[in-house]
Amino acid sequence: MKFEERVGAESPEGARPARLLSLDAFRGATVAAMLLVNNPGSWSAVYAPLRHADWHGWTPTDLIFPFFLFVVGITTHLSLRGERTRGAGDGAIAAKVVKRGSIIVLLGLALHAFPFFEAGTIAGIADPTLLERIAVRGETLRIPGVLQRIGIVYLLVAFWELVVSRRPRTALASRGELAAVAAILLGYWAALTLIPVPGTGARGADVLDQPSATLAAWSDRAAFGSAHLYRASREWDPEGALSTLPATVTGLLGLFAGRWIAGAVGLRKKVAQLAASGIALALAGIAWGAFFPINKNLWTSSYVLFTAGMAAAGLAAFAWLIDLKGWRGAAQPWVVLGVNPLVAFVGSGVMARILSSLVRVEWQGRRVPLQKALFESTFSPLLAPEAASLAWAIAFVGVWIALLWPLWRRGIFVKI
C-alpha cells in the first residue's frame, strides 16, 4: 500500500480532464451509502429501505454492493488501459493485479479478525486467557466477506481484460464475451434451480426460498465450514463461494461500460446510451425475476442484470448532473469518499468495532459500549427511534467525509 500525491487530480483546482468526475462521485456516494446502512444508531430501529430484503426481493440497500462492483469493473478497464499507455507489459500488469487483489482479500480477513481476539464472554470458558480468546477468534473467523469478494472479482475481471484485450475488438464486448456472460448467468440459474441439493435430494427450485437449503448454502458449508460463515446464520453466507461467480458478471458488465466510457464518442452520447442500456438491463432483470427471483444473498442472475442496469442508469444520471450540467460543488463530498474508498471502508469498519464493542463506559448505572452511550446521550432523546438511528448514521458518514477531506485537498490517494 502506498500514498500517492497527484497534482490537480480531483483537487480544488479541478478534476483530471481524462476522467469523469462523476465516476468518483458515484463511487463515493456508494461508499457513503455503505457507511450509512452499516452504522445505524440502533439496529432495532432502522427504516425498512435501509435494511436488506429478508430473502427474495430488494430494497435500496441491496443496490449498494453491486453498484460498487460495477464501478470496480469500470475502473479496472481504465486502470489497465492507463498501464498499457505508460508502456507496462502484460507480465508486470498481471503481477500488480495479483498483488492488489490479494491485499484487498487479506484486508477483508483482517477486518473480520479485528481486534484479533474474542471480546466478551465465551461459552464454556469462565475466565479465558488472551491466548484462548485469540484461538476462539480464529476458530470462528468469517472467511467470506465484502472486501474478499471485491478482491476476487477484481482479479477475475482484470485477468479477463488482460486476455481479451490482446485480440482485435470492434465492439465494446465481443460475441465470445457476451456468450460467456450469458453462459455464466444461465448456468448459475440452472445450478440453483435444476440440480438436486446434496444431502437433501431436493431439486434446487423447490428449496430456493429456504436460505440454508439451497445449493449455494451447501457450497458455503462445504468450502468454509459452518463456523467460518456469516455469524447471523452459520448456514450460508451472503458473500459465499458459489455466488461469487455471478458477482463477477456484475464486474464484467462494469468492464464493458468502462470501455464505452473510455471511447472516443462524445460525452452526451455516452451518457444517453449508458442510461438506455441500463434501463434495458434493469427491465430484463425484472422480467427474469418473475422466474428466478431477484435475491441479493444468492446474487441471482436476475439480480445481476437488474442491479447492473440500475448502476449504469445511476452513473448516467451522475454524469449528466455533474459533467454536463456542472453540479461539481454539490458532488464534492462524494468525491472525497470516492477517491479514497478503501480507507473509508476499512477505517470506518475499525472505528465501528472500537465504538460498538471494544470500548465500554459507565452510562446510567450500566457498563455499555461507547457507541450506545454516545447515541443515547445525543440523538436518541431528541428524535423518534428510527429518525434518531438514521441521524447517527448520517453523522457517522459526515465524520468520515471530514476525516478524508484533508487528503482530497492535498490530492493524496491511498493506493494498493
CA distance 405 to 32: 14
What is the CB-side half-sphere exposure of residue 364 using CA atoms within 13 A?
8
Amino acid identity, position 142? R
pLDDT digit string, tens, across residues 63-74? 999 999 999 999
- Which three three-digit cell numbers place residue 159? 485477468
**Tens-digit pLDDT profile for the chain (416 aa)?**
554 544 333 333 333 334 689 999 999 999 999 999 999 999 999 999 999 999 999 999 999 999 999 999 999 999 998 888 888 888 999 999 999 999 999 999 999 888 877 766 677 677 777 777 788 778 888 999 999 999 999 999 999 999 887 665 556 778 889 999 999 999 999 999 999 999 888 999 999 999 999 999 999 999 999 989 988 888 999 999 999 999 999 999 999 999 999 887 889 999 999 999 999 999 999 999 999 999 999 999 999 999 999 999 999 999 999 999 999 999 999 999 999 999 999 999 999 999 998 899 998 888 899 999 999 999 999 999 999 999 999 999 999 999 999 999 998 888 87
Contact 177, 185 (CB under 8 A): no
User: For residue 17, what pLDDT is reported?
Assistant: 39
Contact 258, 82 (CB under 8 A): no
5-20 in b/e form (b: 16+ CB < 10 A) is eeeebbbeeebeeebb
- The single residue listed with the C-alpha cell 427450485 is 205
- Which three three-digit cell numbers place residue 103? 491485499
CA distance 47 to 63: 16
Concatenating the DSSP letter of every residue in 259-280 gives HHHTSSS-HHHHHHHHHHHHHH
Alpha helices in 141-266 (DSSP H): 146-164, 175-194, 215-224, 244-261
Q: CA angle, corner 302, sides to 298 and 305, nearest 5?
A: 115
Cis peptide before 211 (omega within 30 of 0): no
Contact 102, 61 (CB under 8 A): no
State whether the Cα torsion 181-186-189-190 is positive or negative.
negative
Long-range contacts of 134-140 (CB under 8 A, 24+ apart): 137/113, 138/113, 139/227, 140/227, 140/228, 140/231
**Conformation bin of residue 125: beta by default, left when phi > 0, alpha when psi is -120 to 50:** beta
Contact 250, 73 (CB under 8 A): yes
Contact 75, 255 (CB under 8 A): no
Q: Which of 190, 191, 197 is nearest to 213 (CA)?
A: 197
User: For residue 6, what pLDDT is reported?
Assistant: 46
- Please report, to the nearest 10 degrees, the dihedral formed by the alpha carbons of residues 126, 128, 133, 135 taken in order: -90
- Which three three-digit cell numbers place residue 174? 465481443
Q: What is the pTM of this model?
A: 0.91
What is the CB-side half-sphere exposure of residue 48 using CA atoms within 13 A?
5
| Burial of 350: CB neighbours in 10 Å, binned 0-12, 13-18, 19+ | middle
User: For residue 169, what pLDDT is reported?
Assistant: 59
User: For residue 19, what pLDDT is reported?
Assistant: 64
CA distance 249 to 301: 9
